[in-house]
A and B are shown apart, each in its own frame.
Chain A
Amino acid sequence: MKLLSLFLSFARVGVLTFGGGYAMIPILEREIVDRQGWASSEELMDYYAVGQCTPGVIAVNTATFIGYKVAGNLGGVAATLGVVFPSLVIITLIAGILTNFADIPAVKSAFSAIRVCVCVLIFNAVLKLWKSAVKDRPALVIFILVLGLSMFFNISPVVFVLFCGAAGIALTRLGLRGK
């Protein structure tokens, strides 16, 4: 029963989350803290903070945390499946429809302009993350190196992630952080 209510609750969170990220916090507060009492606001912020700095989508990570707290491993799985379920249904429907309309000139024009908007949105996302990610010179060097190399060479992002994780340890050990 608990697994079902976890699934349904997180499906509700998935439907109401528009865009993910910070937009999700008030919705999680209402559903998880106020309505179900599964976690306190502080716990929620903890989960969110850890979910942000571990691999994967933040919404998924937070769902797994809360599900685990409420009903163990299976709870984690149920909550996570719940949060992705609406996406599966909605995106599949929209993608199916759009494929049929993709050749209409008006749709093409609309998407050409929307692409401009997407560029601006990505630019804004980078600026927002910049403040917490690039605080000193070594971090700036990492940023410039990764940006340059990934633009001009076809290197898998996995390689960059592995190298930069190791660089983070090395820079910390060498006492170069904050310089």
Chain B
Amino acid sequence: MILLRLFWEFFKTGLFAVGGGMATLPFLRDIGIRTGWFTQQKLADMIAVSESTPGPIGVNMATYVGFETAGVPGAVVATLGLICPSIIIILLIARVLKQFRSNQTVDAVFYGLRPCSIALIAAAGLMVAKLTFLNSDSAGAGIAGLLNWKAVLLGAVLLVLTRRIKPLKKLHPVVFIAASAVVGIVFAF
């Protein structure tokens, strides 16, 4: 039964997540909240692993969530669920590729979908940020105690490194993830 539900949840994700791997994130967040299969914190860890291992992020995340939920069969079923809509849709479009690319209705739909897609990613990202930068047990500690200062500092450094320093901008995310892991262990995050 859980396998059937996994397949269905990931089928929906594959059908409605537009804009590549990261676009699956809001759907995974939604699945986590509704089913209780995994926490938001666990989801953030799964993103990290998915970014640092070979394979497309969207597929990696589906496999991971599936595995966490129902072991190896879960991993297989979630991944198949995710790719099923793609296969069906692309096989249909491949027959009429030229018309599809110049179709005005298709263009209009995606004009509305693009800002929606990044807003959903941003909202999911803010959820992860809330878990990461705010202390959960800060009752009565005031504003200074509310923020996790180590995390804020590391975030600021990473932001500057990934956006402002030219030679570092082109580096693969796995480099920053690995560096963060080392910082986390050394400074006991």
Contacts and interface: CB of A to CB of B under 8 A. Distances in A.
A116 B180 contact: yes
Interface in B56-78: 56-60, 63-64, 67-68, 72, 75-76
B48 A114 contact: yes
B59 A57 contact: yes
Main secondary structure of the interface of B (DSSP, over half): helix
A73 interface: yes
Interface in B61-98: 63-64, 67-68, 72, 75-76, 79, 82-83, 85-87, 89-91, 93-94, 97
B185 A120 contact: no
Contacts of B94: 64-65, 68-69, 76
Given A24-B56, A69-B94, A98-B49, A118 B44 contact: yes
Contacts of B21: 20-21, 57-59
Contact of A18 (B82, B131, B154, B172): B172
B113 interface: yes
A128 to B, nearest CB: 9
A151 interface: yes
Given A20-B57, A150-B119, A169 B49 contact: no
B44 to A, nearest CB: 5
Nearest to A173: B108
Contacts, number: 357
A124 B108 contact: no
B49 A86 contact: no
A165 B113 CA distance: 5
- A54, A118, A160, A163 — which one has the most chain B CB atoms within 10 A of its CB? A118
Contacts of A150: 26, 119-120, 123
A69 B120 CA distance: 33
Contacts of A4: none
Main secondary structure of the interface of A (DSSP, over half): helix
Given A65-B94, A84-B83, A116 B132 contact: yes
Nearest to A130: B118
A153 B3 CA distance: 28
Interface string B110-137: 1111111111111111111101110000
Interface of B: 12, 14-22, 24-27, 30, 33, 41, 44-45, 47-51, 53-60, 63-64, 67-68, 72, 75-76, 79, 82-83, 85-87, 89-91, 93-94, 97, 100-101, 104-105, 107-129, 131-133, 151, 154-155, 158-159, 162-163, 172-174, 176-177, 179-185, 187-189
28 contacts: A20-B56, A21-B21, A46-B101, A55-B85, A57-B58, A64-B94, A65-B94, A73-B91, A84-B56, A87-B54, A90-B53, A92-B72, A94-B49, A98-B49, A109-B188, A113-B154, A113-B185, A113-B189, A115-B128, A117-B154, A117-B179, A118-B48, A118-B132, A119-B132, A121-B51, A139-B114, A157-B16, A164-B116
